[in-house]
Chain A
């Protein structure tokens, strides 16, 4: 398997623009997670899905952030409008049901909002 695939790897955008991050989980994994990583706050959970259904979005910073999972092989995280404080590395991870299964992370998207 190719692992968790994220795109783009890098994104530089101007404040106020819409940003869409994409993720393809590992085939057969029924959980998908979006995390954000910064030096100050570490790795923060934003939202996660089980069988394409959002389970917990309490980590989404505010209404500017939205996430969807229209099918088992694709998810998006959208920021509209973007702000400089959104600059971070955004990771998507997937997992399968079972206590001992760790998460497999994608390579991440480094977002810079100027």
Chain B
């Protein structure tokens, strides 16, 4: 089975940088995804990592270390609209995505 851990809550201020960590334990790793979910809305796809290293996409970057079972999502130049829940999800070979419980990020001015 899978175990995915991420912090429950984080707070930050506008313009700052925040890093949301995710650790996982799986058998047969086949990719790690990050999703953003605003309150009352559906999750939306942010990023995908299958190889070690950093993937950058605008203000958002995601890092993966497969040997350590570790990933992080880095958000730069925070804006109020970034207040949301961030979900880490892992896919094992031949299965669907399994999600962590999410990290609720609150951005204040």
Q: Point out residues on A near B: beta carbons under 8 Å.
A: 31, 33, 35, 41-45, 48, 56, 91, 99-100, 102-108
Contacts and interface: CB of A to CB of B under 8 A. Distances in A.
A48 B96 contact: yes
A108 B38 CA distance: 13
Contacts of B45: 102-104
A99 B30 contact: yes
Interface of B: 30-31, 33, 35, 41-45, 48, 50, 87, 95-102
Contact of B98 (A41, A45, A105, A107): A45
Contact of A100 (B50, B97, B99, B101): B50
A92 to B, nearest CB: 10
Given A42-B102, A102-B33, A33 B96 contact: yes
A33 B95 CA distance: 11
A43 B99 contact: yes
4 cross-chain pairs, A with B, having the tightest CB-CB distances, nearest first: A102-B45, A42-B101, A105-B42, A43-B99
Given A45-B98, A48-B96, A56-B96, A107 B42 contact: yes
Contacts of B31: 99-100
Which of B35, B42, B101 has the most chain A CB atoms closer than 10 A to its own CB? B42
A45 B90 CA distance: 12
Contacts of B101: 41-43
Contacts of A35: 99
A111 B31 CA distance: 31
